């Protein structure tokens, strides 16, 4: 059996054909209310119809945040599952934002939930945290590799609260983020060429001092939240990720979704992100 194309290979093709932009989908209680929708699974479902209509096949990646679906219980999860499969049908890569992190055996169950043919979500990618140690995630990353998927680990988050923990210095003089970046690079080096099953979350809001962490990541893909509502712009990506543009997946959520519920306005907001993301990738 031939192995599936890796997430990195599929992302590169779509980023060139469409744009590298990743659209976040966070149907919060407030947003549902602003869109005039009930705070129910039916409201969620109507929200998702509009997102599908507006985004279509214009973005490379879509990133639903599981929490906003989980809060509606099993019926919310069915809406999430349907959204993931319908974007897949549109040829868009699905990145499930769940930020799971636990001991190895529990991680196996989480990985079986998100990755692989026949799994409930068959996600192309998902987010994880490594507070219980990178070693606890090795099998998750291996399952991602075998499924042609990518496991994105939070290395430096976009929120200000993350900095003190992530930049804490260990006994060997490396920060927590540097230790994670080195481990992540080594895992990618052990996988086959072009597979890159371990990606990194690196906030677009980070200071220039984090360029060292970016370098340690080697060829890993980087998901960069923080554009728009958290204050960063596409121009902020230029200095932090200079020379690594092809590895960056710029993502924004609220700055697009606030344009709803009108589908034409949503489409225009998506284009306002798709275009600068494309220009950033081309280095122009
Ligand atoms: O993994 C993420 O996407 C993520 C990582 C991070 O460091 N910061 C961050 O805000 N996010 C997610 O990005 C979404 C918010 O994006 P904005 O609405 O564009 O600010 C939420 O779903 C967050 O969980």
In tens, the pLDDT along 61-93 reads 999 999 999 999 999 999 999 999 999 999 999
Ligand 1 atom with minimal separation from the 226 CA: 20
Ligand 1 atom with minimal separation from the 254 CA: 18
Q: What pLDDT score was predicted for residue 1?
A: 47
Sign of the Cα pseudo-torsion (203, 207, 213, 214, in order): positive
Q: How far is the CA of 2 from the centre of ligand 1 (A)?
A: 35
Asked whether residue 68 is domain-assigned, the answer is: yes
Asked whether residue 272 is domain-assigned, the answer is: yes
236 lines ligand 1 (CB under 6 A): no
Q: What pLDDT score was predicted for residue 4?
A: 80
Tell me, yes or no, if 88 is annotated catalytic.
no
From 29, 13, 120, select the one nearest 61 (Cα to Cα).
13
* Number of structural domains the chain divides into: 1
Q: How far is the CA of 25 from the centre of ligand 1 (A)?
A: 10
Q: How far is the CA of 234 from the centre of ligand 1 (A)?
A: 15
Asked whether residue 262 is domain-assigned, the answer is: yes
158 lines ligand 1 (CB under 6 A): yes
Residues 12, 14, 16, CA angle at the centre, nearest 5°? 70
Q: How far apart are CA 61 and CA 20, in angstroms?
A: 7
Asked whether residue 60 is domain-assigned, the answer is: yes
Q: What pLDDT score was predicted for residue 3?
A: 65
Q: Whose CA is nearest to atom 14 of ligand 1?
A: 253
Mutate to test the pocket of ligand 1, among 61, 158, 221 (most ligand atoms within 8 A of CB): 158
Give the residue numbers spanning the domain of 209.
7-282
> Of the residues 63, 88, 99, 139, which is catalytic?
99
Query: Which residues, given as ranges, of the chain have pLDDT below 50?
Result: 1
Give, to the nearest 10 degrees, the angle between helix 74-89 and helix 41-55.
Answer: 10
Asked whether residue 274 is domain-assigned, the answer is: yes
66 lines ligand 1 (CB under 6 A): no
Instruction: Give me the phi and psi of 32, to 5 degrees please.
Output: -60, -45
DSSP assignment of the chain equals: -PPPPPHHHHHHHHHHHT-S-EEEE---HHHHHHTT--SSHHHHHHHHHHHHHHHTTSSSEEEEBTHHHHTTTHHHHHHHHHHHHHHHHTT-EEEEEEEE---HHHHHHHHHHHSSTTSSS--SEEEE--TT-GGGGHHHHHHHHHTT-EEEEEEE-SSGGGHHHHT-B-TTS-BHHHHHHHHHHHHHHHSPTTT--EEEEE-TT--GGGHHHHHHTTT--EEE--BSTTSB-HHHHHHHTTT-GGGEEEEESHHHHTT-SSHHHHHHHHHHHHHHHHHHHHT-
Asked whether residue 2 is domain-assigned, the answer is: no
What is the per-residue pLDDT across 212-262, written as a single tens digit (0 to 9) for each?
999 999 999 999 999 999 999 999 999 999 999 999 999 999 999 999 999
Q: Whose CA is nearest to atom 7 of ligand 1?
A: 157
Asked whether residue 171 is domain-assigned, the answer is: yes
252 lines ligand 1 (CB under 6 A): yes
Six-digit token string for 142: 């291996």
CATH number for the domain that contains residue 14: 3.20.20.70
Q: How far is the CA of 162 from the centre of ligand 1 (A)?
A: 12
Q: How far apart are CA 63 and CA 249, in angstroms?
A: 11
Q: How far is the CA of 249 from the centre of ligand 1 (A)?
A: 13
Instruction: Give me the phi and psi of 269, to 5 degrees please.
Output: -65, -40
Asked whether residue 163 is domain-assigned, the answer is: yes
Q: What pLDDT score was predicted for residue 56?
A: 86
Q: How far apart are CA 43 and CA 121, in angstroms?
A: 21
- 58 burial level (CB within 10 Å; 0-12, 13-18, 19+): middle
Instruction: Give me the phi and psi of 123, to 5 degrees please.
Output: -70, 150
Q: Whose CA is nearest to atom 15 of ligand 1?
A: 253
Other beta carbons within 10 Å of 219:
14
């Amino acid at each position: 059996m031939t192995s599936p194309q890796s997430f990195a290979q599929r992302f590169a093709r779509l980023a060139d054909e469409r744009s590298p932009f990743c659209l976040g989908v966070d149907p919060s209680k407030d947003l549902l209310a602003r869109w005039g929708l009930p705070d129910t699974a039916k409201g969620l479902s109507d929200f998702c119809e509009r997102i599908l209509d507006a985004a279509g096949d214009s973005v490379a990646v879509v990133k639903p945040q599981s929490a906003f679906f989980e809060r509606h219980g099993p019926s919310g999860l069915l809406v999430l599952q349907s959204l993931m499969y319908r974007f897949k049908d549109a040829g868009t890569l699905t990145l499930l934002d769940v930020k799971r992190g636990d001991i190895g055996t529990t991680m196996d169950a989480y990985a079986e939930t998100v990755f692989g043919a026949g799994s409930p979500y068959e996600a192309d990618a998902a987010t994880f945290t490594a507070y219980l140690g990178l070693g606890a995630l090795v099998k998750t990353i291996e399952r991602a590799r075998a499924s042609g998927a990518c496991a994105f680990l939070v290395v430096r988050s976009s929120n200000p609260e993350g900095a003190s923990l992530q930049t804490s210095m260990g006994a060997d003089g490396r920060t927590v983020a540097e230790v994670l970046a080195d481990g992540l690079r080594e895992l990618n080096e052990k996988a086959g060429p072009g597979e890159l099953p371990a990606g990194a979350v690196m906030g677009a809001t980070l200071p220039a001092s984090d360029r060292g962490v970016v370098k340690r990541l080697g060829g890993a893909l980087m998901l960069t939240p923080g554009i728009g509502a958290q204050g960063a712009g596409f121009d902020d990506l230029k200095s932090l990720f200079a020379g690594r543009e092809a590895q960056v997946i710029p993502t924004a959520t609220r700055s697009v979704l606030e344009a709803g519920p009108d589908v034409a306005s949503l489409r225009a907001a998506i284009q306002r992100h798709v275009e600068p993301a494309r220009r950033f990738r081309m280095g122009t």
